[in-house]
């Protein structure tokens, strides 16, 4: 499989109170079209919109047509929803549509507007991705990932400092990214002293509530000018909605399975990946992701973070955008933004956060506490 990424762009992520979902999507789409240099809106044959909460929070349940109208298009357009993996899932839908040969060029958009609502409304809406018993028990995503962290700590000796090191690295990367929500670096002390959200997770172990949009143009055509970037593997897997139904809380089975399929499809192995954007909704999630993706053995990822192996200058470099932790996590936009970041890395246009000589990259996007996982592999 070889699907071209013809153009890609993201808005700044953050608390964007003066911007509407329309504004944000139009900005990302126009920049992606400009970036492609050889495609116009009229060449787009289908639109896939990654979004989770437009109905629950925004009262808009007809998102495909909503954005097609805004774009002035009459093409097939649909919302793709998979909780926090909605963006990655929309990319997968675009890839499969182009691979089928039905469409030559499709537009994938990721959008979420979360900060206009009260924190308790957002937390409740996000729990729409959990199981009924979890909701009935009053669980939140910080509390579910805190449970996973506790088991990882008990089984592998992972410490709160190891998790804090993920936040320090990702805030450092975000300090080099003008589109990130938090562009300030943080110290270990600052993370360790931040208020507890759900023990052992503290404020600075958590991704924030964010607004933002991202857009990617996928095509079966090869770019005539400039460096071609291809998606060479794209896979999705699912698992139980609730944690209680899982055998092991230190791994996300769906992510392992999606990775296995994407590696097989692309013929690329974990040791060949130069740069990856992984779903660090909480710092423990990045440690688990690196183990599930096969970058490190089970129980060994925390040590790699501590030694700085996954920071710029190491290999594989993880979350050059700042990840969900510091770049921000507008849930439906995240999976699309991850592809934008890897595309920019492989093109060599990632600026101060450029990974030198990056040729192979990966995105890992997770919905809920691991019920949906999407892995995409890109080649420069
Ligand atoms: N990292 C760093 N700083 C953060 C932050 C984060 N994750 N979240 C908030 N802040 C900062 C804010 O910028 C603000 O700073 P200021 O006072 O200088 O302006 C301060 O902390 C308080 O912000 P506030 O919005 O009041 O925080 P909150 O207590 O309402 O929410 C969380 C904090 C962690 C509970 C919230 O961000 C959250 O629920 N995150 C998880 C989201 C989630 O579950 N996503 C789905 C994943 S599966």
Residues with a catalytic annotation lie at: 84, 329
Instruction: Check whether 204 has a pLDDT greater than 90.
Output: yes
CATH number listed for the domain at residues 3-118+207-379: 3.40.47.10
Q: Residues lining ligand 1, CB < 6 A?
A: 84, 119, 123, 126, 141-142, 182, 197, 203-204, 206-209, 281, 329
Q: What is the tens place of the pLDDT at every residue in 142-151?
A: 999 999 999 9
pLDDT at 89: 98
Return the closest-CA partner of residue 364 out of 307, 323, 313.
323
Instruction: Check whether 226 has a pLDDT greater than 90.
Output: no
Instruction: Give me the mean pLDDT over the 374-379 stretch.
Output: 98
Instruction: Give me the mean pLDDT over the 343-350 stretch.
Output: 98
pLDDT at 377: 98
Per-residue burial over 218-257, b if 16 or more Cβ lie within 10 Å, else e, is bbeeebeeeebbbbbbbbbbbbbbbbeebeebbbbbbbbb
Report CA-CA distances (Å) from 329 to 78, 85, 256, 359. Answer: 22, 11, 22, 26
pLDDT at 47: 98
Domain boundaries, the chain: 3-118+207-379
pLDDT at 1: 81
Output the CA 208–ligand 1 centroid distance in Å: 5
Return the closest-CA partner of residue 76 out of 48, 96, 100, 114.
48
Which element (helix H / strand E) includes 10? Answer: strand 3-10
Output the CA 181–ligand 1 centroid distance in Å: 11
Instruction: Give me the mean pLDDT over the 332-358 stretch.
Output: 98
Instruction: Give me the mean pLDDT over the 365-369 stretch.
Output: 98
């Amino acid at each position: 499989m070889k699907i071209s990424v013809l153009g890609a762009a993201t808005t700044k992520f953050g608390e964007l109170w003066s911007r509407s979902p329309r504004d944000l999507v139009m900005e990302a789409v126009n920049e992606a079209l400009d970036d492609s240099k050889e495609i116009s809106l009229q060449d787009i044959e289908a639109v896939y919109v990654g979004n989770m909460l437009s109905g629950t929070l925004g009262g808009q349940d007809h998102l495909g047509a909503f954005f097609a109208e805004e774009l002035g298009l009459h093409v097939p357009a649909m919302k793709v929803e998979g909780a926090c993996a909605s963006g990655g899932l929309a990319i997968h839908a675009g890839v499969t549509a182009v691979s089928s040969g039905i469409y030559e060029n499709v537009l994938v958009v990721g959008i979420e507007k979360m900060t206009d609502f009260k924190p308790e409304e957002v937390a409740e809406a996000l729990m729409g991705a959990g199981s009924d018993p979890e909701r009935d028990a009053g669980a939140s995503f910080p509390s579910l990932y805190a449970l996973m962290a506790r088991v990882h700590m008990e089984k592998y000796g992972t410490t709160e400092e190891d998790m804090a090191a993920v936040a320090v690295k990702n805030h450092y990367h975000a300090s080099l990214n003008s589109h990130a929500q938090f562009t300030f670096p943080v110290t270990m002390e600052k993370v360790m002293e931040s208020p507890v959200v759900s023990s052992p997770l503290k404020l600075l172990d958590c991704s924030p509530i964010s607004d933002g949009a991202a857009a990617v143009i996928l095509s079966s055509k090869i770019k005539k000018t400039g460096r071609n970037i291809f998606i060479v593997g794209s896979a999705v897997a699912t698992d139980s909605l609730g944690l209680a139904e899982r055998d092991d809380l230190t791994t996300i089975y769906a992510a392992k399975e999606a990775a296995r399929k994407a590696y097989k499809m692309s013929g690329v192995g974990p040791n060949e990946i130069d740069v990856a954007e992984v779903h660090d909704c909480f710092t423990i999630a990045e440690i688990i992701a690196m183990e599930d993706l096969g970058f490190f053995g089970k129980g060994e990822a925390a040590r790699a973070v501590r030694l700085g192996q996954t920071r710029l200058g190491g290999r594989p470099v993880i979350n050059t955008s700042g990840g969900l932790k510091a770049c921000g996590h507008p849930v439906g936009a995240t999976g699309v933004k991850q592809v934008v970041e890897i595309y920019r890395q492989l093109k060599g246009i990632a600026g101060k956060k450029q990974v030198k000589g990056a040729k192979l990259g990966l995105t890992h996007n997770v919905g809920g506490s691991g019920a949906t996982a999407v892995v995409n592999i890109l080649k420069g």
